[in-house]
Amino acid sequence: MLKRLSIYSVTLLLVPFFAFVSGWHWQPDHVVGGWDYGLFLITETAGKPFAIVTCGAFALFYLVLVKNKKRAVAAIIVMALALGITQGIKSVLKPALKADRPFVTAMLAAKTLPKADFYLHSRKVRGELVKHYYNGTNTPQWLVEHRAQETSFSLPSGHSLFAAMWVMLAVGFAMLLRNRYLAYFSYGVTAWAILVLTSRLVLGMHSPADLALAIGTAWLVAVLLFSFLPRLNFFNITDNA
């Protein structure tokens, strides 16, 4: 289990790793195109409010793919708890680490606005400052609105943590229940998560370090979780799928 979880974590880490070793950095003058809007639609599946829809869709897969429905429901409950715990960890780490988002760094530098002053404002006022900054620019309105809603600290990435945790859960339960259809499902979840991670970089919302910490947090929670669950006979049974 540990080996498989680690392999998938390393796979996800390739996104921030290649960004780091290539010297890629988000640029304030990045020209936004159709590719960016496609990534925006993907990033929305891992953030409020659409993350709830994503959870519902993934949960439905488990209800369909796991033959024992009581075990499927139990797995879904565990998943919900794990997702809640990781998002709680994120809420503690962000204000403690106080890292800026790339677009916020660029905005504060251009406006010569002290960092401390920006974060003293309420979330609503920070959003208005973002909208004012992009007023009259070529930045599309959908991206302005997205950034105006995301003015909290950056490290770790909440979207990336959500996506990475889903990968860990998909891989872990596929192995725990020995269900080949869940294994196929984990491949699709991994591909989706890679796109979510990529979107956070390209849209100027996060740095590679933000993604790496999110992936590491998801891996750690998953290792602890799937070290415990096999001890429960309820889960440690082949689903025969």
Supply the residues annotated as catalytic.
Answer: 159, 206
Three-state secondary structure along 173-230?
HHHHCCCHHHHHHHHHHHHHHHHHHHHHHHCCCCCHHHHHHHHHHHHHHHHHHHHHHH
Closest-CA residue to 29 (of 129, 138, 114, 126)? 138
Find, among 59, 77, 73, 91, the residue nearest to 161 by Cα. Answer: 91
Q: Would you say the C-alpha torsion 192, 207, 205, 214 has a positive or negative sign? A: positive
Residue 240 vs residues 62, 74, 122: alpha-carbon distances, Å = 14, 17, 53
Rounded Cα distance between 205 and 187, Å, is: 26
Query: CB count, 10 Å around CB of 85?
Result: 15
Report how far residue 78's alpha carbon sits from residue 75's, in angstroms, rounded to the nearest whole number. 5
Q: Do 174 and 185 contact (CB within 8 A), yes or no?
A: yes
